[in-house]
Amino acid sequence: MLVTETVLHLGPELERAVNRMDFFRLFKSLAGSHGFSYFGVTEVVSDEQGINLQHVHALHNLPASWFEDPKLQVIDARDPVFVRLQQSSAPCVMDLGQTPSEVLGCSGSDTVVIVPLHAATGKRYCLILVGGDAKPDHQALALIALDAALIFQRYFEVILSLDSISGLSDREIQIVRWTSEGKTSAEIAIILGLSEHTVNSYIAAVLRKLHVVNRAQMVASAIRSGLIT
């Protein structure tokens, strides 16, 4: 029987989470409490795109050096980890010794935990844990899944649902986040593989949607609403 008192995030720490950094810490703590060094949480956009850890809603601490293209940080749709995710609607443990992953194999660990997650909007997400020394048993896997569901539910309520309410697209939120980090339109265009004109068009659309008149107000409004941290 699952003992819910042992679940990691049923207390005040979860209730106090209000921004992406808080949820980054929660998922990292979940990974560490079960002996894993690395985690990744992101939306599963389509069967063809694989797992995009640069997605606007992604949280992860996987080293950029693991990826063939550090700027993209994608686990390819042909990777066994993504294939397994597509085949299972339940949490599962995967042995990389038997089915190697080009990206996650860099962890030096043979064990990957995959937890499918679902938002109230119907969008699919997933949690991946890697870098552990021991394969979790059924009890540990159930606790990981319960913890992940609790944290993700709060993440959806506090962050993801606000993104939908704001009316901003994923790309618009991504551009706002890069702007908040001091990037110019030209720099954002290079990072995202867009033209500078397209970036400026996105920014103009965001200004209208947030009812602000310049980039500084845009960033301030996005921070207040929790769209970015």
My answer on whether 113 and 51 are in the same domain is: yes
- Reply yes or no on whether the pLDDT at 213 is more than 80: yes
Mean pLDDT of 20-27: 91
The verdict on residue 21 lying in a domain is yes
CATH number for the domain including 185?
A: 1.10.10.10
Q: What is the mean pLDDT of the chain?
A: 87
My answer on whether 46 and 98 are in the same domain is: yes
pLDDT band at 223 (very low <50, low <70, confident <90, very high): confident
**Per-residue exposure over 187-199, b if at least 16 CB sit within 10 Å of its own CB, e if not:** ebbeebebeeebb
CA dist., res. 188 & res. 174, Å (int): 9
pLDDT given for residue 55 in this prediction: 77
pLDDT per position as a tens digit, 4-20: 444 555 667 888 888 88
pLDDT given for residue 14 in this prediction: 87
CA dist., res. 122 & res. 114, Å (int): 19
CA dist., res. 66 & res. 101, Å (int): 11
pLDDT band at 122 (very low <50, low <70, confident <90, very high): confident
The verdict on residue 115 lying in a domain is yes
pLDDT band at 2 (very low <50, low <70, confident <90, very high): very low
C-alpha angle 116-20-87 in degrees, rounded to nearest 5: 10
Length of the chain equals: 229
Specify the higher pLDDT residue, 159 or 85: 85
The verdict on residue 229 lying in a domain is no
pLDDT band at 165 (very low <50, low <70, confident <90, very high): low
Domain membership of residue 196 as a residue range = 170-224
pTM: 0.72
pLDDT given for residue 1 in this prediction: 43
pLDDT given for residue 4 in this prediction: 47
My answer on whether 10 and 60 are in the same domain is: yes
CA 92 vs CA 7, 16, 210: distances in Å: 18, 29, 41
Mean pLDDT of 156-172: 75
My answer on whether 137 and 118 are in the same domain is: yes
Give me Rg for the CA atoms of the chain: 18
The verdict on residue 83 lying in a domain is yes
pLDDT per position as a tens digit, 78-99: 999 999 998 888 999 999 999 9
Last residue in a domain, options 164, 180, 199: 164
